[in-house]
Amino acid sequence: MKIAVTKKIVVISLLLFVMLSGASIGAYYLYIKPVQAEHEQAKQSLQAERQLLEQTKKRVEELRVNPTVSSAVLQYKVPIQPLTEQIVLFIEKAEVMSRSKVKSITFEEGIEGIENAKKVTLDVKVSFETYEKMQYFLELLQNQKRIIHVDALAFSWKDEMEQPLQERRGQVEGANVEKKTESTYSVKISAFYAADLQGLEDGLPKVDIPKGSKKTNPLTVQ
């Protein structure tokens, strides 16, 4: 009798151990690991922002110390004027290449940035169909010769539950009709320029604005 009771205790103890171990592992993957991943991502993002800021400071200082030798090259990174139209062209090219759709662009110039430089900020509203298109759009902007920083990103998802009832019924009844749903996001980007440097206008990058475009101008100034 004692042996049977002992076996039961052992079995119960083993079951409790397995259950507690499973709960601990589940809690780790459900709660602890995601937090660790977010923390690591935040650290990497902060490090990237610091590197970008240091890179911008370095380019501005190079323009100040040696403005004649490398002005044209350095002004591709940090020009002496806002050149907002240049950034708009970058956005339009990214729009075409990523197959996204820019809804609106608002910008503001003359904002105090880092030491010896000001910045221009642009708020861009974009509609997209897939995460990959959104990611590609942002990558295209950040891979330009000019230093462009993504300051903020906000989403507005179009969920099935947000669609009108008639629209949802139409999707169910019309089996042959494929409807693409678009979501939107707003991205805030910024670029620096060394406004206090004079006499370097000859080194400014040329901005070739396409002629004869019938596209509606999405720009508004804040």
**HEC states along the chain?**
CHHHHHHHHHHHHHHHHHHHHHHHHHHHHHHHHHHHHHHHHHHHHHHHHHHHHHHHHHHHHHHHHCCCCCHHHHCCCCCCCCCHHHHHHHHHHHHHHHCCEEEEEEEEEEEECCCCCEEEEEEEEEEECCHHHHHHHHHHHHCCCCCCEEEEEEEECCCHHHCCHHHHHHHHHCCCCCCCCCEEEEEEEEEEECCCCCCCHHHCCCCCCCCCCCCCCCEEEC
Would you say residue 169 lies in a domain?
A: yes
Neighbours of 174 (CB within 10 A): 10
Residue 202 located in a structural domain: yes
Asked if the structure places residue 155 within a domain, the reply is: yes
In this structure, what token pair is assigned to residue 213? 């475009």
E-strand spans in 24-148? 101-112, 118-128
Mean pLDDT by 10 residues, the chain (222 residues): 53 55 53 53 57 65 60 81 92 94 92 80 92 91 89 74 45 46 86 80 74 48 44
> 52 in a domain, yes or no?
no
Q: How many domains does the chain have?
A: 1
129 within domain boundaries: yes
Is residue 3 in a domain? Answer: no
- 159 part of a folded domain: yes
Residue 21 falls inside a structural domain = no
**pLDDT value at position 46?**
54
CATH number at residue 150: 3.30.70.60
Residue 156 confidence (pLDDT): 78
Please tell me the predicted confidence (pLDDT) of residue 194: 84
Range of the domain at 169: 62-221
pTM: 0.59
